[in-house]
């Protein structure tokens, strides 16, 4: 210290040194924080996969709490604890599918049994077969079907979400979705529907050579006017909304904890098998892949619900036109031409979408957490065997 320095000058110098020390300490803290941030794993994209949609992903600390520790790295092969927690989500999805399948079978059987019992009480002299044909052609059977699937889809959506501790509000946080994209997706889905019909016809012809039929005989179903209205409401509104809640909502969300690509494929397989026959499996699987992709892309069920409703409504209108004007070759021809033009437009729009929006790829770590873990889940195996067995049995008995 300078001997000639006054006390005031000395205090000023000390204050300047303290300020300099403070600034250096602050810079050191900022650098340490930057180092920690750079070494921390993104909780919504823990596998550092740029092809996935991180907005859709949940918090992976539910599976690996250690990823909040700076410098933590996820190994290629999941450790025992991670595999167990991840398997739990696959088991929840598989169990929900099992309960959904069993509920729809038992509830519909009981409801139809009660309806037939009441009909027999009121008409004791009428043969059972005649009463059943009446129930089938009237609004009774179709109403039971609509109510059954409405309850099952909604009930097991919320049970599955509650079980897996995922909020239902997360299914509708729509991002980057416009009217133009809605139109593009709707016409793309028509192309998928058209293509699925072609593939289904080819497979049906192959199976028919071996004595098996894949034709769906719905003749006589819902022939009365009230029954037709209920059928239209079910096909165009109830089924699209509630099926999206269950398959693209709960199932897709639950399967997406570690691998979006696997979740898209797996949920689509179950969606296809749930329809119980080959023609609808082809459509439901291919369409399910597309619906799952846009659901994840936009982080919402809204796009898939709109597209599903459009596809079902289009199919309903076409079937109505073919049925009502089967003797008019002019009208049938016009309907087929319009349908073909929609499919061609859809092909162009689908190609544009596919070029700009690839399915999420899978990193080496994710490949060991998708099918590799899901196949060790007993509920997943049982769910697949149940639905695949039901589909095969339907084909064998037809």
Structure letter (DSSP) for residue 75: -
Q: Which residue bears the tokens 């049970």?
A: 159
Q: Is residue 2 part of a domain?
A: no
Q: Is residue 58 part of a domain?
A: no
Q: What pLDDT score does 45 carry?
A: 85
Residue 184's closest CA among 306, 79, 87? 306
> Is residue 177 packed enough to be buried (19+ CB in 10 Å), middle (13-18) or exposed (0-12)?
middle
Q: Is residue 76 part of a domain?
A: no
Q: Is residue 15 part of a domain?
A: no
Counted domains in the chain: 1
Q: Is residue 172 part of a domain?
A: yes
Q: What pLDDT score does 299 carry?
A: 94
Q: What pLDDT score does 16 carry?
A: 72
- Residue ranges of the chain with per-residue pLDDT less than 70: 1-10, 24, 28-40, 213-215, 217, 398
The model's pLDDT over 164-175, given as tens digits with 9 standing for 90+, comes to 998 777 788 899
Q: Is residue 204 part of a domain?
A: yes
> Do the Cβ atoms of 146 and 235 come closer than 8 Å?
no
Q: How far apart are CA 302 and CA 296, in angstroms?
A: 11
Question: Phi, psi at residue 21, to the nearest 5°?
Answer: -60, -40
Q: Is residue 63 part of a domain?
A: no
Angle, CA 167 vertex, CA 166 and CA 169 arms, to 5°: 145
Q: What pLDDT score does 9 carry?
A: 64
Domain that holds residue 371: 84-215+223-397
Q: How far apart are CA 75 and CA 364, in angstroms?
A: 9
Q: Is residue 162 part of a domain?
A: yes
Q: What pLDDT score does 206 carry?
A: 81
Q: What pLDDT score does 219 carry?
A: 74
Q: What pLDDT score does 214 carry?
A: 67
Q: What pLDDT score does 91 carry?
A: 97
Q: Which residue bears the tokens 């998928």?
A: 192
Q: Mean pLDDT in the chain?
A: 89
Q: What pLDDT score does 396 carry?
A: 78
Bridge partner list, 172: 300
């Amino acid at each position: 210290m300078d001997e000639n320095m006054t006390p005031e000058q000395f205090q000023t110098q000390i204050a300047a040194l303290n300020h300099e020390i403070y600034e250096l300490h602050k810079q050191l803290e900022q650098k340490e924080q930057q180092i920690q941030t750079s070494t921390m794993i993104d909780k919504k994209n823990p596998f550092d996969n740029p092809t996935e949609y991180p907005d859709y992903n949940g918090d992976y600390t539910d599976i690996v709490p250690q990823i909040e520790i700076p410098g933590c790295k996820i190994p290629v092969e999941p450790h025992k604890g991670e595999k167990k927690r991840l398997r739990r989500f696959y088991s929840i999805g598989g169990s929900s599918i099992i309960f959904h399948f069993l509920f729809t079978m038992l509830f519909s059987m009981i409801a139809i049994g009660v309806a037939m019992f009441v009909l027999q009480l009121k008409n004791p002299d009428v043969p059972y077969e005649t009463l059943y044909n009446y129930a089938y052609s009237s609004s009774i059977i179709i109403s039971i079907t609509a109510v059954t699937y409405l309850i099952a889809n909604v009930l097991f959506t919320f049970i599955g979400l509650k079980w897996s501790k995922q909020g239902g509000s997360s299914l509708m946080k729509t991002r980057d979705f416009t009217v133009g994209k809605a139109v593009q997706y709707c016409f793309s889905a028509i192309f998928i529907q058209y293509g699925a019909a072609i593939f289904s016809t080819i497979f049906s012809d192959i199976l028919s050579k071996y004595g098996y039929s894949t034709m769906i005989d719905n003749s006589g179903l819902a022939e009365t006017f009230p029954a037709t209205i209920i059928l239209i409401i079910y096909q165009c509104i109830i089924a699209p909304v509630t099926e999206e809640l269950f398959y693209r909502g709960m199932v897709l969300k639950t399967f997406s904890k570690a691998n979006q690509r696997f979740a898209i494929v797996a949920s689509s397989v179950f969606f296809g098998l749930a329809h119980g026959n080959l023609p609808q499996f082809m459509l439901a699987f291919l369409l399910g892949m597309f619906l799952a992709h846009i659901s994840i892309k936009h982080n919402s069920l809204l796009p898939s619900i709109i597209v599903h409703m459009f596809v079902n409504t289009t199919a309903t209108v076409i079937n109505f036109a073919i049925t009502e004007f089967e003797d008019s070759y002019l009208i049938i021809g016009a309907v087929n031409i319009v349908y073909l033009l929609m499919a061609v437009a859809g092909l162009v729009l689908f190609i544009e979408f596919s070029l700009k929006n690839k399915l999420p790829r899978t990193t080496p770590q994710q490949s060991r957490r998708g099918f590799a873990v899901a196949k060790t889940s007993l509920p997943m195996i049982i769910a697949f065997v149940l639905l695949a067995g039901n589909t095969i049995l339907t084909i064998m008995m037809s």
